Chain A
Amino acid sequence: MKKVINALAACAMLAMAAPQTATAQESENNYRFVMVSHIGSNDPNMKWLTLSLEEFEKKYPNVKTEYISTNNYSVQEHVRLLEQVIATKPDGIAVPIVSTDAFEVPLRKAIEQGIPVVAFNIPDPRPEGERIPYLTYVGGDEYLTGKKLGEYALSRADLPAPKRVVCATHDSAHQGLKARCAGMKDAMEAAGAEFEELFISAEPATARNTLQSYLQANPDTNYIFTVASWSAPWAWGVANDMGLSPDVDDKGVTIITVDASPVALAGIKAGHVLATNSQGFWLQGYAPMEWLYWKHELGYEPQSDILTGPIVVDIENIDHWEGLVRNIFGDAYDEQNTW
C-alpha cells in the first residue's frame, strides 16, 4: 500500500511539474546526461530506452543524452564503464544498481562530485538512509513482478496446479532478477509448490543444456519462469523437445516470462507463454532524464521512488499490447520474434 501511495505521490509531482516544462524548454543551459546500462544491444529492451532518450532530446534540444552499456552482463565491465562515464563529468547519470556492493563506491564518488544520479530498472534494496543517496529510483518493483505473475498463474483454474517451479536466470549478480525470483517463490510456495532458482547463463547453448539437465533431474517441474523474455523460447524449445507439452493448457509444463517485448508478446499470442509483464521500460528511459533536468533547472528532488510497473499481459489484453509495442519497434517487431 505504501508503495502505491508513493507511486501516486510521484505521479502527482510529475503532473504538478508539467506546466513548468515550457519554462524549462526555454533554458539556455546545455546538459549532457548519460545512461550507463546493463541492457546491451543483444537485449531487445534496449530499444525502449534508446527510443525514449531520442524522444527526450526532441523535447529538450538543449540536452544531449548518451546510452552506454555492457553487452555481456558483467558487473566488472559495468563498473568500469560507470567510472569512465563519471570521469567525463556529465550533468547527470542514470544507472541500474545491479550490485550494491560493487556500485556503491563509484556512485558515492559521483554524488560527492555534484553529479546527480537517478537509479533506474534496479534500485538499491536497502532502506532509505542506508542506501546509495541517489535522487530517486524509476522502475518496476521486481519483487512484485514475480509475485503478481505467480499469483496470476495460480488464479487460472484451467491450468495445472504448480508442483515444482524453476526460476531460470541468466545473470548471477543481477539483484533485480533475484527479486523477481523471490516474488515468484513467495507466491508459489504459498500454494504448496517446490521452488528452485537456476542459473542458465545468457548463452543459448549453455542455457538449453542447463535447462535440459534440470528438467531431466526434476521431472515434476511444471512451471518455468524465465526472468528474461528472450530466454522463454529456449525454455519452450527444451521442454518441447523433451515432450513435456510446454504450451498453455491443462497439462505439462507452463512457461511464464517478463517484459512487454516482441518475443514475449508473440509467445503469448502463439499459446507458448502464459503471461508476461510490462514494467514501463519507455518511462524508465524518459523519466530519469526528466528528473535530472528538473533537478538542474528547478531544483526538484522526488520524495519517493517512482514505480513504473508491473502490469500483467496475457491472452486477454495481448492485441492491445501488440499494437503499442509494434509502434515502438516498427519493422524490428517481427525480426525479434524468435519463436
Chain B
Amino acid sequence: MLKSEIKRLVRRHTEIGILVISLCLVLLFTLTSEGRWANAYNIGTILQVTATLGLMTLGVALVIGTGEIDISVGSTFGIGALIYLWFAVRIDPVFAALLAIGAGALIGAFNGILVTRTKTPSLIITLGSLMIFRGLAIALTDGFSFSVPYKERDGFSYSVLGGTEFLGINTGFYWLVAGLAVLLIALKMTPWGNRLLAVGGSAASAHSRGVRVERIKLSAFIVCGVLAAFAGTLEASKLGFADGSMGRLMELQAIAACVLGGCVLAGGRISLPGAVLGAFVLSSVQSYLVVTGVRPQWFIFLLGLIVVFAALGDRTLRRWSLKN
C-alpha cells in the first residue's frame, strides 16, 4: 500500500527524484567530510552559488518547457554582470540592475525572434548568440575588467542585490526564492503557464486550440534572458568585479540542473523546484570536491561522473515508479 503510494508520488512529481538524490548527497557529504562541508559558512556559500545558477536554471527550464533550448545564458549572465557594474559606479545600483535586466530581455528577444521567425533550431541560434555576446563582453571590456572597491559597496542597493548576507545567507538567495515563487504561480495558475507547457507538449496541437505558439516561445526566451542577466547582476554585486569571462560554462551547468531536476528536453514537462534542486546538487558536489581537497586535474572529471550517476539514479527511480 505504502509502496504504491510512493510510486504514485514519484510519478506525479518529477522533482521527487532529485529531492531524494539531494537528501542522499547531503547525508553522504555530511558524514564523509568531517564537518568541512556541513557548516553554516559553507552552506551559505553553496546557497549563494545556487542562487545565481538557480535563477539562470529557472529561465532555461521555461525555454525547455516550450520544446526549445537556450545555451546562450552564460553569455547573457556575463553581459548582465558587466552592464550592471559599469553603471553601478555612475548611477544608483538599482537602476544599473534594471539596465542589466533590460539588456537580458533584449538578448532573450533577439534569440526568441530569430528562433520563431526563421524556424531555425534554437540550439543553432543560441549557440551563435552564446559566441556573439561572449565576444561582445570581451570586446566591451577590451579584454580587461570592471570592479568596485570593497569600501564603496556598503550601500543598501548593493546589499539588497546580493552584495551582503541576511541571516547568514547571501541576499541573492532570497531573490531565487522570490523568483521561484512568482514563476510557480505563473506556471500553475495563469493561462500563460498552461499555454507554455501545451506548446512544449505539442506545438501543433496547441496552435490548433488557438495558442499563439510563437508569442509563448518568445516570452519564454525573454524571461530566460532577464533571469540570466539578473543572476549576473547578483554575482557582480557580490564580487564587486566583472570581466569578459563571467558566466563561462554556466550554460552547461544550467542545462544539467534542468535535466537533473526532471525537465524533459523535448518539452512539455518541467519542474521549477526540481531545476533549483538540480542547481543545488551541482553547487553541493562542486563544494564537496573542494572541501575534501580533490586535486584540480580530477575536478571536472569527478563532477561530470557524479552528474551522470545522479541522472541515472533519477531515471532508475522513475522506471521503478512506473512498474506495476
Chain A: residues with CB nearer than 8 A to chain B? 34, 40-41, 46, 66-76, 79-81, 83-89, 99-102, 104-105, 108, 169, 172-173, 198-199, 201
Q: Across the interface, do A66 and B45 meet the contact criterion of CB distance under 8 Å?
A: no
Contacting B239 at CB < 8 Å: which of A72, A84, A102?
Answer: A102
Q: Across the interface, do A199 and B49 meet the contact criterion of CB distance under 8 Å?
A: no
Q: Across the interface, do A172 and B42 meet the contact criterion of CB distance under 8 Å?
A: no
Given contacts A74-B248, A81-B290, A84-B45, contact A199 B149 (CB under 8 A): no
- Set of chain B residues within 8 Å of A79, measured between Cβ atoms: 239
Instruction: Give B122-139 as 1s and 0s: 1 = Cβ < 8 Å from A's Cβ atoms.
Output: 000000000000000010
Q: Across the interface, do A41 and B296 meet the contact criterion of CB distance under 8 Å?
A: yes
Chain B: residues with CB nearer than 8 A to chain A? 36-37, 39, 41-42, 45, 48-49, 138, 141-145, 147-150, 235, 239-241, 243-249, 286-287, 290-291, 293, 295-297, 299-300
Q: Across the interface, do A99 and B241 meet the contact criterion of CB distance under 8 Å?
A: yes
Given contacts A41-B296, A68-B293, contact A102 B240 (CB under 8 A): yes
Q: Across the interface, do A87 and B143 meet the contact criterion of CB distance under 8 Å?
A: no
- Set of chain A residues within 8 Å of B142, measured between Cβ atoms: 199
Nearest CB on B from A211, distance (A): 13
Cα A108 to Cα B151 in complex, Å, equals 12
Q: Across the interface, do B150 and A76 meet the contact criterion of CB distance under 8 Å?
A: no
Cα A179 to Cα B168 in complex, Å, equals 37
Cα A108 to Cα B245 in complex, Å, equals 25
Q: Across the interface, do A85 and B144 meet the contact criterion of CB distance under 8 Å?
A: no
- Set of chain B residues within 8 Å of A108, measured between Cβ atoms: 150
A199-B143, A199-B144 provided; 10 other pairs, C-beta below 8 A? A75-B241, A84-B45, A87-B37, A99-B145, A101-B149, A101-B150, A172-B145, A172-B244, A173-B243, A201-B138
Q: Across the interface, do A84 and B290 meet the contact criterion of CB distance under 8 Å?
A: yes
Nearest CB on A from B274, distance (A): 24
- Set of chain A residues within 8 Å of B235, measured between Cβ atoms: 76
- Set of chain A residues within 8 Å of B295, measured between Cβ atoms: 41, 67
Nearest CB on A from B106, distance (A): 23
Q: Across the interface, do A87 and B41 meet the contact criterion of CB distance under 8 Å?
A: yes
From B142, B244, B296, residue with most partner A Cβ within 10 Å: B296
Q: Across the interface, do B293 and A66 meet the contact criterion of CB distance under 8 Å?
A: yes
- Set of chain B residues within 8 Å of A173, measured between Cβ atoms: 144-145, 241, 243
7 intermolecular pairs with C-beta atoms under 8 Å apart: A71-B300, A72-B245, A101-B148, A101-B241, A172-B144, A172-B244, A173-B243
Q: Across the interface, do A40 and B148 meet the contact criterion of CB distance under 8 Å?
A: no
Cα A83 to Cα B286 in complex, Å, equals 12
Nearest CB on B from A53, distance (A): 11
- Set of chain B residues within 8 Å of A73, measured between Cβ atoms: 245
- Set of chain A residues within 8 Å of B297, measured between Cβ atoms: 41
Q: Across the interface, do B296 and A69 meet the contact criterion of CB distance under 8 Å?
A: yes
Residue of B with least CB distance to A85: B290
Cα A100 to Cα B158 in complex, Å, equals 18
Q: Across the interface, do B239 and A75 meet the contact criterion of CB distance under 8 Å?
A: yes
Given contacts A74-B245, A101-B241, contact A88 B36 (CB under 8 A): yes
Cα A46 to Cα B245 in complex, Å, equals 22
Q: Across the interface, do A71 and B138 meet the contact criterion of CB distance under 8 Å?
A: no
Q: Across the interface, do B293 and A101 meet the contact criterion of CB distance under 8 Å?
A: no
Q: Across the interface, do B36 and A87 meet the contact criterion of CB distance under 8 Å?
A: yes
- Set of chain B residues within 8 Å of A83, measured between Cβ atoms: 41, 45, 48
Nearest CB on A from B84, distance (A): 14
- Set of chain B residues within 8 Å of A34, measured between Cβ atoms: 293
Given contacts A68-B293, A76-B239, A172-B144, contact A104 B150 (CB under 8 A): yes
Closest 7 pairs between A and B when the two form their complex, measured CB to CB: A199-B143, A87-B42, A101-B147, A102-B241, A88-B36, A66-B293, A104-B150
Nearest CB on A from B44, distance (A): 8
- Set of chain A residues within 8 Å of B245, measured between Cβ atoms: 72-76, 172
Q: Across the interface, do A86 and B41 meet the contact criterion of CB distance under 8 Å?
A: yes
Nearest CB on B from A43, distance (A): 10
- Set of chain A residues within 8 Å of B41, measured between Cβ atoms: 83, 86-87
Cα A72 to Cα B239 in complex, Å, equals 17
Residue of A with least CB distance to B139: A199
- Set of chain B residues within 8 Å of A72, measured between Cβ atoms: 245, 248-249
Residue of A with least CB distance to B245: A74
- Set of chain A residues within 8 Å of B239, measured between Cβ atoms: 75-76, 79, 101-102
Nearest CB on A from B291, distance (A): 5
Residue of B with least CB distance to A73: B245
Q: Across the interface, do A76 and B246 meet the contact criterion of CB distance under 8 Å?
A: yes
Contacting A101 at CB < 8 Å: which of B37, B240, B287?
Answer: B240
